[in-house]
Chains A and B, each alone.
Chain A
Amino acid sequence: MSVPYARLPGWADYGLIPLLNVTAAFLVSGLVVLVIGENPIEAVRILVWGALGWGEGIGFTLYYATNFIFTGLAVAVAFHAGLFNIGGEGQAYLGGLGAALVALTLDSVVPWWITFPLAILASALFGAFWAAIPAWLQAYRGSHIVITTIMFNFIGASIMVWLLVDHLSPPGSMAPETRTFEAGAQLPKLDGLFALFGLDIGGSPVNITLFLALVAAYFVYLLIWRTRLGYEIRTTGLNPTAGVYAGISPARIIIIAMLISGALAGMMALNPVMGEQYRLQLDLAGGAGFVGIAVALMGRSHPIGVVLAAILFGVLYQGGAELAFEMPKITRDMIVVIQGLVILFAGALEHMFRPALGRMFANAGRPAGAAAGGAS
């Protein structure tokens, strides 16, 4: 019971174990499909085809993946500092407010490429602001950041409903949304780019925010592994006491890491608000903040892993929509179940296969002759 986990080779630790965990999650998902009375293999075929088999499907997959890269990175940065930021949903929601305020002010004045950088700044700022209060409370008052970020999700949602219903919706309109942005706040779609490669992505909403997400992933990589600040963040995450001895203030790191995390989550809102809907709507994050948890766990908090996991969840979201269409018994809620199973197996049960694997490696690593005389 209390035997410490055996040390595994790096490739097993970072490759095999996550793979086993995710496989277990998908196997259980397959069981759920069986219980529903559909063929899991057929379901996977429809899902993969729906997400990757045609141009518009690929476009939608990448559109969803863009959201998840941002929220996944947000959770990952906080993880590196040893913090669990559950508030991505609320931070993205508030980020949408920042983006929309810039868009509503400038959309008929300047072209999109002037609005865009300002909107990036505003969404990041608003997202960071919504993470700042829980961060400060954790750093200086010791309030558990998980609880405060959960509370801030709800508080943020209330504020946004109030703003949209009472203040931001155009006069005379009953719908809780802002007016539609003019061309000056509509981000260009990538259909032209994909057409160069002979791929017709139809009316799918994937837009230049995708590149912003990839740039953000690269910056997170640089930040965490190539800067002094990143080193301090990782040190604090692994062992805050050691960090203190090295002269790193945990309070400062908590606040900086959460600000970066909140800014990343906030930028996610650019994708739906300025890239697809061209307006600020209720519930614009649509659960992407929570998907970020699964994405970060699956990607082991590494930007490359996060991007890959985000694409996988993009496939699940887009493919799931097609699946719901083809197999009416499997509603889109199946995606939520898979998400839960990935979080369970890749997160909470991440050590489940470790003891068995450790024993296997220990046995395999011992030369045949040494086994008998190994006692000395």
Chain B
Amino acid sequence: MDLFIQTLDSAIRLSTPLIFACLAGLYSERAGIFDIGLEGKMLAGAFAAGAAAAVAGTSPNAIVASNAAWIGLFAGVLTSVAFGLIHGFASITQRGNQIVSGVAINFLAAGLTVLLGDVWFHQGGRTPQLTVDGRFRGVEFDNLQQLGTVGDLLQAILGPIVAIPVVGPLFQQLVLGHNLLVYLAFLAVPLTWWIVYRTRFGLRLRAVGENPAAVDTAGISVIWLRYRAVIVCGVLCGFAGAYLSIAQSVGFTKDMSAGRGFIALAALIFAKWRPWPALGACFLFGFLDAGANILQGRDLPLIGAIPVQFIQALPYVLTVVLLAGFIGKAIPPKAGGVPYVKEQ
């Protein structure tokens, strides 16, 4: 049981970057822009966040140094959006092949992060280890006072829940004590649902991914709408990247996204491009990842040792099975991948 809770706790942390990246892909692909560059944007965001937070953390200016994590997050988002705009320029303005553009983004990010990291910090592509203020850290319930008034308030609100027998400790272990970005990721899901299904922007976003000509006829700019989708995608990938380098770890390391962008893409397909199922798919894949870590080298009753590689490959296998139409059918937005040309 302890092991199970431990796995769940780890799954929450591992699924956070997946959720950000998956929702990022959702905005882009729902608007008709395929994005296999999630991985690259995440990596670029992670590097920028790690680099900026490291530099700001050692700044002599006390205000800068104490807000290093936020500066890092901002830099990560900005960089990721810049990469997103390259993708947007290629696939919206220049009407280029969106897959090819995504591949290019992934290569650019993989190369530039290590190249620049090595030149700037001389640590073989790593960024320097972050200071305490350079990271988003989780705060345990008992230490909430350090946050000042907000902490006191939280402690007052959460106190009764924690005090409940059985449920309380579980709640404390699973829900509390994560860093801020984890909560933001889980909040981004209902927010995305609301934006996509309950706002005018969301309606148009979905329409432009299905039938851009109709949107155009209604007098709405297809190009501007798609650019906005690509920018939102960049922002969320920046969060995913920043989480990797300045929340989960203490700095950027070479290729630290390690295929998570593709897992997020798989999750997006698995969720059939919908926000709530996206949360489910990301959590499932995060749980598998956590399970692979914990099961490594252990014997399961009845089955024996499962090769870790099998669990690691499971998200991809499941996605292929889904794509094959054996468990429901994943139908992408109709206009996905097709550049929009007026009057044709």
User: Which listed segment binds A: B73-81, B91-99, B143-151?
Assistant: B91-99
* A352→B325 CA distance, assembly (Å): 38
CA distance A363 to B307 in the complex (A): 66
Cβ-neighbour of A341 out of B90, B108, B125, B319 (below 8 A): B108
Residue-wise, chain A 107-130 has the 8 Å CB interface mask toward B (1 for contact) of 000000000000000000000000
Interface residues of A in 314-365 (CB under 8 A from B): 329-331, 333-341, 343-344, 347-352
Determine which of B114, B307, B313 lies in contact with A154 in the assembled complex, contact meaning CB atoms within 8 Å: B313
Assembly CA distance A179 to B320 (angstroms): 34
Which secondary structure dominates where chain A touches chain B?
Answer: helix
Please state if B96 and A2 are interface contacts (CB–CB under 8 Å). Answer: no
Residues of B within 8 A of A36 (CB): 115-116, 119
B-side contacts of A297, CB under 8 Å? 100
**Closest residue of B by beta carbon distance from A5:** B95
Please judge, given known A-B contacts A2-B342, A151-B320, A290-B103, whether A333 and B309 are in contact too, CB under 8 Å: no
Residues of B contacting A146 with CB < 8 Å?
36, 99
Asked if B118 lies at the interface with its beta carbon under 8 angstroms from chain A, I say: yes
Closest to B114 in A: A333
Interface membership of chain B positions 116-133, coded 1 if the CB is closer than 8 angstroms to chain A and 0 otherwise: 101100000100000000
Chain B residues 285-344 with CB under 8 Å of chain A are 307, 309-310, 312-313, 316-317, 319-320, 323-325, 332, 341-344
Residues in A whose Cβ lies below 8 Å from that of B99 = 84, 86, 146
Q: How far is the CB of B213 from chain A (nearest CB, A)?
A: 12
**Contact in complex: B86, A148 (CB < 8 Å):** no
Q: Known: A151-B266, A154-B262. Is A337-B324 also a contact (CB below 8 A)? A: no
* Smallest beta-carbon distance B236→chain A, Å: 20
The reply to whether A150 and B344 form a contact with Cβ atoms under 8 Å apart is: no
- The winner among A166, A344, A350 for most chain B CB atoms within 10 A is A344
B112 within 8 A of A: yes
List the B residue with the shortest CB-CB distance to A35: B116
A349 touches B94 (CB 8 A): yes
Least CB distance, A146 to chain B, in whole angstroms = 5
Once the chains are docked, how many angstroms separate the CA of A132 from the CA of B76?
Answer: 39
In chain A between 126 and 151, which residues have their CB closer than 8 angstroms to a CB of chain B?
133, 137, 141-144, 146-148, 150-151
Name the residue on A nearest B262 (C-beta): A150
Q: How many residues of B contact A (CB 8 A)?
A: 51
B269 on the A face (CB < 8 A): yes
In the bound complex, CA of A166 to CA of B309 (Å): 11
The answer to the question of A105 belonging to the interface, with a C-beta cut-off of 8 Å to chain B, is: no
Contacts of B317 in A (CB 8 A): 151, 155
| Cβ-defined partner of B309 (8 Å) among A162, A334, A343, A352 | A162
Q: Which residues of B contact A344 (CB under 8 A)?
A: 86, 90, 101, 104-105, 108
Contact of A347 among B95, B96, B106, B342 (CB under 8 A): B96
A335 engages B111 (CB within 8 Å): yes
CB distance from B310 to the nearest CB of A (A): 7
Contact with A along B254-287 (1 / 0, CB 8 A): 0000010010011001000000000000000000
B110, CB-defined interface residue at 8 Å: yes
CB nearest neighbor in B for A352: B94
Q: Do A158 and B310 touch (CB < 8 A)? A: yes
Q: Tell me, yes or no, whether A93 is within 8 Å of chain B by CB.
A: no
Residue in A closest to B340 when the chains form the complex, CB atoms: A2
Contact-size category for A: 35 or more
Chain B's closest residue to A329 (CB) is: B119
A151: shortest Cβ distance to chain B, in Å?
Answer: 4
Measured CA separation A141–B342 after assembly (Å): 31
- Chain B: CB-nearest residue to A347: B100
CB of B201 closer than 8 Å to a CB of A:
no
A308 contacts B by Cβ under 8 Å: no
CB of A86 within 8 A of CB of B103, answer: yes
Indicate whether B107 reaches chain A with its CB closer than 8 angstroms: yes
**Separation in Å of the B270 CB from the closest CB of chain A?**
11
**Contact status B94-A154, CB under 8 Å:** no
**Chain A residues, Cβ within 8 Å of B94:** 348-349, 351-352
Complex CA–CA separation, A353 to B60 (angstroms): 47
A242 within 8 A of B: no
Cα distance A143–B321 in the bound complex, in angstroms? 10
**A240–B313 alpha-carbon span in the complex (Å):** 34
| Cβ contact within 8 Å between B111 and A147 | no
Contact B343 A2, beta carbon cutoff 8 Å: yes
List residues of chain A with CB within 8 A of the CB of B319.
147, 151
The chain A residue with its CB closest to the CB of B322 is A143
Most buried by B among A146, A162, A338, A348: A348
A158: chain B residues within 8 A (beta carbon): 309-310, 312-313, 316
Contact B115 A348 (CB under 8 A): no
Query: Which has the most chain A C-beta neighbours within 10 Å: B115, B125, B320, B325?
Result: B115
**In the complex, chain B residues whose CB is within 8 Å of the CB of A290:** 103, 107
- From B36, B89, B91, B107, A343 is in contact (CB under 8 Å) with B107
B211 to chain A, nearest CB (A): 17
Give Cα distance in the complex from A344 to B86, angstroms. Answer: 9
B326 closest partner in A (C-beta): A141
Tell me how far the C-beta of A217 lies from the nearest C-beta in chain B, rounded to whole angstroms: 22
Q: Are B332 and A144 within 8 A (Cβ)?
A: yes
- Residue B323 contacts which of A147, A331, A335, A339 (CB distance < 8 angstroms)? A147
Contacts A/B (CB < 8 Å), 29 sampled: A32-B112, A37-B119, A86-B103, A133-B320, A141-B324, A141-B325, A146-B99, A147-B265, A150-B36, A150-B262, A151-B262, A151-B266, A152-B316, A152-B320, A158-B310, A159-B309, A165-B309, A293-B103, A329-B119, A331-B115, A333-B111, A333-B114, A333-B118, A340-B104, A340-B105, A343-B104, A347-B100, A348-B97, A351-B94
3 closest Cβ contacts across the A-B interface? A340-B107, A336-B111, A337-B111
In addition to A293-B103, A349-B94, 13 A-B residue pairs with Cβ atoms within 8 Å of each other are A84-B97, A144-B323, A147-B266, A150-B265, A155-B320, A166-B307, A333-B125, A336-B110, A336-B114, A337-B111, A347-B96, A347-B101, A351-B95
